[in-house]
Structure 1
Amino acid sequence: MALYIRDPEVDELARKLRAMTGAKSKTDAVRRALRNELRRARRPERFDDRNAKVMAMADALGSSQTLPFDMKAFTDAMWDDA
């Protein structure tokens, strides 16, 4: 089955995507875009859920600071104003 792109904006988007991704043709670029969109649509996950997972991973890593951070002292040292 043929897919004819008659919309100039869609044609331009396909051209840009082909150039950015190194696809062999606009058809390959559109194929890749459609597959990615289908993959994304199959796993609908709310932002809040994704964010909660990321925050849990960050919490699991723990703090990188063991002492309270003094921003003024850091800035002064960075600018040699100490």
Structure 2
Amino acid sequence: MASLYIKDPETAALADRLARRLGTTKTQIVRQALTALERSIPERPSKMALLAALDDWRKHHPLPPQSGQAADKAFFDAMWDDAD
């Protein structure tokens, strides 16, 4: 049988108070709290799901066509009107 030992006295006392107030066990209180926390945190998507979402996004947001210009220092200097 697995066990869970709560080392923090305040946390153990809180679990005990809630268990008594609700007429249940500390185990049930911890189970309910962990279940609620698990539900509140979304599952991490798989790598395949992320890649599929990225592929879908790329289909709906394609890159513009290439300009054919070289993206070198002269290109950026001309774009920013910054000649050395």
What is the TM-score normalised by the length of structure 2?
A: 0.42
Rg comparison, structure with higher value: 2
Q: Which has the higher helix share?
A: 1
